[in-house]
Structure 1
Amino acid sequence: MKKKLLITTISFLITLVTTAQSPSLSAWLRNSTITARHYDKTTGALISDASLANVQSVKYTSTDVYISTTGLPAYITGPFLDGNTNVAGNQNAIFKFPLTPTKNTGTPTATTAGNIGIFINGVALFDYRDGVSWNNSQSKVCGGPIMGCTGDGLWNRDAVVGERLGFDCAKGHPAGTNYHHHQNPSAFNLDLNVISTICNLYSADGLYVINSSQHSPLIGFAYDGFPIYGAYAYKDTNGTGVITRMKSSYALRNITTRTSGPAVSTTYPLGYFKEDYEFITPTSTDYLDEHNGRFCKTPEYPNGTYCYFATVDVNHNSAYPYVVGPTFYGNKVVTKVATIPGGATTYTGPILFVESIDINGYLNDKGTVLNWTTTNEKDVKYFAIESSNDGISFSKVGEVASNGNSNNKYSFTDWGTFINTKYYRIKIVDVNGKYAYSKVISFYQNKTIDIGIFPNPVADLLIMQANGIVKNSMEITLANAMGQIIKKQQFLQGSTICYVETRDLTNGVYFVSVNEGINKKVYKIIIQH
């Protein structure tokens, strides 16, 4: 909820510096309009759910972040073709994360069954296991979804291998109603070597698309509070070097037999069990440690942080230990809680200071336009407009004189364009030289809208594929050659694919416009039935 400053004497204004620029606040995909969807397990029909997708709110105190989420993604879930009759459901969960995670200096904490992290869309992360292990007396795997017997717990099945048939197109499935990923949350059909055909039957997408030419996005946080990235990063830990694939340092052991377990065979190949792997001490910066992470600089953490990576092989197929594990780097402190402390602040954007005047703005093709209003303004001399590229270090870009003691409206244009994010705040200076700050607002501008469109010419269905995380819903319009808008729909936040039906349109030339704030890209297509 926005507040307006009641300016009586500006000397009584209080500026409170907060930690609201932390990626542990800003990275989450907050959503209040998009609902979840799933394929019906019997008919294959696409069902729109009543529950919202992604994260509903982010609140914080001086020490912790509280994430309220349904645990449901914006991308379509299901069906699960291994006999799993469950459907992804609303978890109605609140997760408590530390604002400042800490390294575990003692014995590393092992990952466990169930949640070990949360992706930025609120979906749960599990480790390699599925509760199934080898029962040597019965010479079969038991436990988990295999009812009627219990495994010995010595040779534990790798869920990514053993349950592949039950993953949907986004490489996820539910435990009960808790939809989760054990691995890199990108669609099967986008891997360089496609090892599952589920997307051919039930097309969907995932959280992001692997792009080997750029640093992967921040995709989640582990239960020790440290961030999780996709598969690619700077080779050097100081944030320099080429973009390269982050590689797991776990390798398959050179064995043909397993003590108290099945021999290596086509039924139980190497990699079927977690114990088939061994850790090889890394000798290069692009190989990860025993937790599947490293300390390095990233776009969100320019000063460096420990972070995990969702590892894949050269074919972009998931690589053990997949995301986190088999132990945590930090102190495992994240918990699910029933309530949020009453004094917690709601995160609404990259705010660095308590809001003191009503400030907003927009981008145009000339620069950044800032507008602000004051209420009962008194003894203000001028307003200094300050900008920043990182939200921390600000410099003055302009000044506007006060209009006098009243309720006033102001405007200022910072000429020139920029790429990525720029932050602004207003420094309010009174006649005695005392000052206070407004809240900080930010503007984001992509270098370009990066979306692929195919097929072209198209007959019945146009497919739009995003190359990266869609952080904000984009408007899609389809117009004919005369500029008349024929169709309009949304490319949803947290998804990577959008479909536009064209079967009901006549043959000819059309134009597809993708709009993301001030950014717009137009594609020419031909409809040919």
Structure 2
Amino acid sequence: MIRKFLFLILIFSAVSFAQTNPAITSWLQNTTGITGRHYVAGNSTPINDAVLANVQTVHYDGTWVYVSATGIPTYITGPFLDGNPSLATAQNKIFKIPLSPTQNTGTPTATTGGNIGIFKNGVALFDYRDGVAWSSTTNALCGGPGNPPCAGGPGTTQAWNRDAIPAERAGFDCAKAHPAMGNYHHHQNPSAFNLDLTVLSNICDTYPSDGLYTINPLVHSPLLGFAYDGFPIYGAYAYTNTNGTGAITRMKSSYQLKSYPTGLRSNGPSINQVVGTQTMFNGYFREDYEYVAHPSDPSYLDEHNGRFCITPEYPSGIYCYFATVDANHNSAYPYVVGPTFYGNKTATTVTSVPSGSSLYNPALNSSLFENSEFKIVIAPNPSQDFIAIQAQMVENDLTVELINELGQIVKTSKILQGSTLSIIETDTLYNGIYFIRISDREKIKNYKVVINK
């Protein structure tokens, strides 16, 4: 009897741990077999892939969580219009991430090229760089496709390292991402271009997609993923104060562009120098930025692009990174994590899940049963050109219907299983009061919206 009692305590403890640790419970697990989709240039009809999207399984023990994912999202990927011949292809990785991340009290670890984190749908996070730099020896770009290798070989630290976000914008899809030899990844805030206040790319006009979440300045942004030191990554908005109080405000990067009074960079190209088709404007290289602390304003982040704070998922507080944007919701350097990690970088990939680890079943998470409200965020409201309907992860497809005052359904959409977002275009509709009806197999919820153009 005693052994049975102890066994039940162990099971209960394991289940409780899984239900309360966001590093275990926050992943978008694919429970319906939904597959990825992609566009190819010249075809605005997405192609269905035979690759499972999002995260397939989550295992955990007392120290680590093991996340098995293809690296393919449910939002549509592509096309990549800068000549990138690659498509987003299955990576089939098992990510090993610490459950109790720790601060690095020694020399901070610099971020590197390739994966430095993983979003909650299994898609990779890269840092700012794209592998291209400026060679002071040849006075030309080096590294990357079409350029000669940088002196010293791959990974050589250069004085001027190119920033992928402005330099490769033409090659990002609607969700602000692209593949490197098949490894689809975001360098930056993973929301769609056409939802930004100032739209920097028209890729969504022909090839619409939705990204991982929608920025809403009125609510705390969702947990988006985890860096390779195990600390969580959030969207662009949070509580003003680190203790979880104050108004919702935009988390601001403390990096700003340097001033070049003479228009010259040391051992680098002049500001706005044109080399081939490339203009070396201020902000083209990572080294164009400098860190400036703002100790009196808690909404400014530290040199790692994070801060300690209380969040909805971490009521006791934890260090958090943020996907920073500017006032126009355009991505702001260092974008997510970097240029160094706050914590000890211990995450890695493994070839198999260790024996003895527990399989996390999302059905055990009690929050999934609190579905009568659907936990929906609708923005903007009033709307002009579109309405973004943001949900938490859903276990079943949600049907989204836009209904006018006469009770007529004028638009329909879906939030797919394992996804979080649906966009309804409203630019062709008349001004007035409408209703959003959200339904699954069992429940219906209505929301009032206003279209005012």
Same fold (TM over 0.5): yes
Q: Describe the superposition over 1:348-405 as per-residue Cα deviations: whole angstroms up to 9, x where unpaired.
A: 13759xxxxxxxxxxxxxxxxxxxxxxxxxxxxxxxxxxxxxx8xxxxxxxxxxxxxx
Of 4, 8, 18, the residue aligned with 1:14 is 8
Of 442, 450, 465, which residue of structure 1 is paired with 2:388? 465
The yes-or-no answer on 1:208 pairing with 2:216 is no
- Structure number with higher helix proportion: 2
Residue 200 of structure 1: SS of its match in structure 2? Answer: helix
Aligned residue type for 1:125: L
* Cα offset, 1:85, TM superposition: 1.2
SS in 1 for 2:8: coil
Q: Pick one of 439, 446, 455 that aligns with 2:373.
A: 446
Q: Is the 8 A contact 1:491 1:498 kept in 2?
A: no
Task: Report the Cα distance in structure 2 between the residues aligned to 1:240 and 1:88, rounded to whole angstroms.
Answer: 41
Residues 103, 47 of structure 1: alpha-carbon distance in 2 compared, 3 angstrom cutoff: same
Question: Would the alpha carbon gap of residues 518 and 175 (structure 1) be closer, same or farther in structure 2, given more than 3 Å must change?
Answer: same
Deviations 1:430-481 (A, max 9, x none): xxxxxxxxxxx85344376434699999xxxx97631455544313469999
Decide whether aligned partners of structure 1 residues 153 and 523 sit closer, same or farther in structure 2, where only a CA change above 3 A counts: same
Matched, 1:82 2:7: no
- Displacement of 1:13 in angstroms is 6.5
Is 2:224 the partner of 1:219? yes
Asked whether the equivalents of residues 390 and 422 of structure 2 are also in contact (C-alpha less than 8 Å), the reply is no
Q: How many residues align?
A: 422
Q: Structure 1 counterpart of 2:281, which letter?
A: P
Provide the residue aligned with 1:124 in structure 2.
124
Q: CA deviation at 1:154?
A: 1.2
Partner of 1:272: 284
Aligned to 1:197: 202
- Corresponding position of 2:266: 259
Distance 2:174 2:360 in 1: 32
Q: Is the 8 A contact 2:210 2:423 kept in 1?
A: no
CA-atom RMSD in angstroms: 3.4
Query: Residue 385 of structure 1 corresponds to which residue in structure 2?
Result: none
Shift of 1:282: 2.2
Q: Secondary structure at the match of 1:14?
A: helix
Equivalents in 2 of 1:39, 1:496: separation in Å?
19
Among 277, 297, 301, which residue is 2:310 paired with? 297
User: What is the alpha-carbon distance in structure 2 between the residues aligned to residue 225 and residue 119 of structure 1?
Assistant: 12
SS at match of 2:175: coil
Measure the CA separation in 2 of the matches of 1:514 and 1:225.
Answer: 35
Distance 1:456 1:250 in 2: 33
**Partners of 1:455 and 1:278 in 2: how far apart?**
38
Identify if the C-alpha distance between structure 1 residues 337 and 448 changes in structure 2 by more than 3 Å, giving closer, same or farther.
Answer: closer
Q: Residue by residue, what CA displacement relative to the aligned partner does 1:197-233 show, whole Å, maximum 9, x if unpaired?
A: 1111211111000011111100010000000000011
More deviation, 44-53/477-486 = 477-486
CA distance in 1, matches of 2:104, 2:235: 23
Distance 2:125 2:83 in 1: 22
Structure 1 SS opposite 2:280: coil
2:182 paired with 1:184: no
Query: What SS does structure 2 have at the residue aligned with 1:15?
Result: helix
Cα shift readout 1:217-272 (whole Å, capped 9, x = no counterpart): 00010000000000011111000011111001111111121111001116211110
Check 1:36–1:119 CA distance in 2 against 1; reply closer, same or farther (3 A cut): same
Larger Rg over CA atoms: 1
Q: 1:45 is paired with a residue of what secondary structure?
A: strand
- In structure 2, the residue matched to 1:242 is 247
More strand by share: 1
AA matched with 2:160? W
TM-score with structure 1 setting the length: 0.73
Contact 1:449 1:521 in 2 (8 A): no
Assess if the C-alpha contact under 8 Å between 1:73 and 1:121 holds in 2.
yes
Partner of 2:422: 497
CA drift at 1:59: 0.6
1:130 alignment partner, SS class = strand
Query: What runs of 5+ residues in structure 1 fail to find an aligned partner?
Result: 1-6, 353-390, 392-420, 422-440, 501-509
Residue of structure 2 in register with 1:380 after alignment: none
Q: For 1:14-53, what aligned pairs fall within 5 Å after superposition?
A: 14-16=8-10, 17-18=13-14, 19-20=17-18, 21-32=20-31, 33-41=33-41, 43-53=43-53
Task: For 1:511 and 1:258, locate their aligned partners in 2 and report how far apart those are by CA, in whole Å.
Answer: 55
Give the C-alpha shift of residue 140 in structure 1.
Answer: 2.1
Structure 1 residues 519 and 453: CA distance shift in structure 2, 3 A: farther
Could you tell me how far apart the structure 1 residues matched to 2:448 and 2:314 are?
A: 35
Alignment CA distance shift 1:340-1:257 (3 Å): same
Aligned pair in 2 of structure 1 residues 96, 10: CA closer, same or farther (>3 Å)?
closer
Match of 1:64 in 2: 64
> 2:391·2:420 contact (CA, 8 Å) conserved in 1?
no
1:106 aligns with 106
Counterparts in 2 of 1:12 and 1:308: CA distance versus 1, 3 Å = closer
2:436 and 2:388 map into 1 onto residues whose CA distance is: 13
1:48-92 deviation digits (Å, cap 9, x = unpaired)? 000111111111011110000010111001001100011001111
